[in-house]
């Protein structure tokens, strides 16, 4: 029997802990620095209050600021529940008082842990999964930086040289970015000429250098007007082009590191055997789940966390009105959606299932979500049994994907 519940409102420099008993009475309310000695002292105080009874801890964050606290609690064999911040925010409206304090939030977290039976247990991921979560988060940041930089480059180029902005897809062509690092104005490109630009691009290892040079000169010939402040704009474009090329190099290094790290995990062979999964998506999956699916108990529960289990919105005579749940892990949904898209090109079973859903009248998004749910069930069974995916061409009846 659980006799005490400890709610933690997590922060960067400090946490606030409130401990309540089975009747909801506060036994402790304390603000603690996010330092190991203080956290160990808190753990000792709470265990002393429990006097040998079980304590359930709950927190509103599952990584970041409370990472040290979670590691200490797991290391001491404590049970931890995760309550999303949004849940805490809505639950706070049911408690007395309109004010918001760390102490009130911690008390709400503890009380919700005491009353609810649907909260997700929190476990610290293994060393490899935690490292993959950090690496994939870094990769996502760098990828977002690249998209923002490309958008800024195109917007700036559009102001003084719209023909060159239309000439290339800068999100796909590194050669076009390399061109902008040296030649980026109509008059400058015309002076350099197609032959010299082609030779310079080829010298620097650009692919399709002849086509890039020809397209750039053609764009330059279509504009002879010098827009005001062109010299300022071209300087910004050159800086952005070099920044994007650097981001490409950093992303390549991260991908190599992720591929090396993910190969060390015990589930990698199973994940990579699933059509549509590559090293990066496998790393994102392991980082988001901690490498252990037993915490989700069932495939249906896992599907609810991923956002692939529809939530009913029935009322009165209205039934069968299902919608996507409001609360789900967007990282995991992205993994299954993107892997499903990739599998359409390489997996006959996935393509057949998708086509069947489209013939039933479902939209592309609906068919993809149905496919993602089907693939989730397959992957759950594969990881549970430790078996790899059996392709259709093998002559053995495969699990439906």
Query: pLDDT tens digits for 139-196?
Result: 999 999 999 999 999 999 999 999 999 999 999 899 999 999 999 899 999 999 999 9
Q: pLDDT band for position 255 (50/70/90)? A: very high
pLDDT at residue 320 in the model:
67
Overall average pLDDT of the 64-70 stretch: 84
**pLDDT at residue 395 above 70?**
no
**pLDDT at residue 86 above 90?**
no
The span from the CA of 379 to the CA of 273, in Å, is: 10
Number of C-beta neighbours around residue 206 at 10 A: 20
Give me the residue label for tokens 């992957």. 379
Higher-scoring residue by pLDDT: 313, 257: 257
Query: Torsion over CA of 154, 158, 162 and 166, rounded to 10 degrees?
Result: 20
DSSP tag of 274: S
pLDDT at residue 151 in the model:
95
- Token readout for 138 is 């870094």
E strands in 259-347: 311-312, 322-323
Q: Which helix (H) or strand (E) holds 346?
A: helix 330-346
Give me the residue label for tokens 């590691």. 71
Residues linked to residue 59 through DSSP beta bridges, in sequence order: 8, 82
54-59 and 79-82 strand pairing = parallel
The span from the CA of 314 to the CA of 320, in Å, is: 7
Q: Are 54 and 22 a contacting pair, CB within 8 Å?
A: no
The span from the CA of 212 to the CA of 179, in Å, is: 8
Model confidence pLDDT, tens digit, residues 259-312: 999 998 889 899 999 999 999 999 999 888 887 787 788 888 888 888 887 777
Q: pLDDT band for position 400 (50/70/90)? A: very low
The number of angstroms, rounded, from the C-alpha of 40 to the middle of its chain's C-alpha atoms is 32
Overall average pLDDT of the 214-239 stretch: 90
The span from the CA of 297 to the CA of 300, in Å, is: 9
Give me the residue label for tokens 């950090």. 134
Report the percentage of the chain scoring pLDDT > 90.
Answer: 43
**pLDDT at residue 394 above 70?**
no
Q: pLDDT band for position 198 (50/70/90)? A: very high
pLDDT at residue 64 in the model:
77
**pLDDT at residue 219 above 80?**
yes
Model confidence pLDDT, tens digit, residues 338-391: 999 999 988 888 999 999 999 999 899 889 999 999 999 999 989 888 888 887
């Amino acid at each position: 029997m659980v006799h005490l519940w400890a709610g933690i409102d997590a922060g960067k420099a400090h946490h606030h802990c409130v401990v309540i008993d089975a009747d909801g009475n506060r036994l402790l309310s304390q603000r603690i620095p996010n330092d190991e000695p203080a956290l160990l002292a808190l753990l000792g105080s709470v265990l002393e209050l429990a006097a040998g009874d079980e304590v359930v801890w709950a927190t509103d964050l599952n990584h970041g600021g409370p990472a040290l606290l979670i590691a200490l609690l797991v290391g001491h064999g404590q049970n931890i529940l995760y309550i999303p911040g949004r849940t805490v925010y809505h639950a706070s409206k049911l408690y007395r008082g309109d004010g918001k304090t760390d102490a009130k939030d911690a008390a709400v977290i503890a009380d919700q842990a005491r009353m609810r039976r649907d909260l997700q247990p929190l476990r610290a991921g293994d060393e490899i999964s935690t490292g993959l979560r950090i690496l994939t988060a870094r990769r996502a940041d760098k990828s977002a930086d690249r998209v923002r930089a490309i958008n800024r480059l195109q917007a700036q180029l559009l102001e003084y040289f719209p023909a060159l902005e239309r000439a290339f897809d800068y999100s796909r062509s590194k050669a076009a970015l390399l061109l902008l690092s040296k030649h980026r104005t109509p008059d400058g490109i015309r002076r350099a000429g197609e032959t010299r630009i082609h030779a310079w691009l080829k010298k620097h290892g650009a692919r399709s250098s002849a086509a890039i040079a020809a397209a750039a000169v053609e764009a330059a010939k279509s504009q002879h007007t010098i827009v005001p402040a062109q010299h300022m704009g071209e300087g910004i474009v050159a800086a952005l082009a070099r920044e994007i090329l650097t981001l490409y190099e950093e992303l390549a290094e991260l991908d190599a590191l992720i591929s090396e790290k993910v190969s060390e995990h015990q589930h990698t062979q199973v994940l990579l055997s699933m059509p549509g999964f590559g090293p990066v998506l496998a790393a994102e999956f392991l980082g988001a789940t901690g490498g252990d699916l037993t915490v989700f108990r069932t495939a249906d529960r896992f599907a609810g966390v991923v956002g692939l289990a529809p939530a009913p919105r029935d009322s009165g005579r209205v039934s069968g009105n299902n919608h996507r749940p409001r609360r789900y892990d967007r990282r995991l949904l992205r993994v299954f959606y993107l892997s499903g898209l990739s599998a359409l090109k390489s997996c006959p079973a996935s393509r057949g299932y998708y086509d069947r859903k489209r013939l039933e009248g479902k939209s592309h998004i609906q068919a993809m979500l149905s496919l993602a749910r089907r693939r989730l069930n397959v992957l759950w069974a594969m990881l549970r049994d430790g078996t790899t995916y059996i392709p259709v061409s093998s002559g053995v009846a495969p699990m439906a994907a």
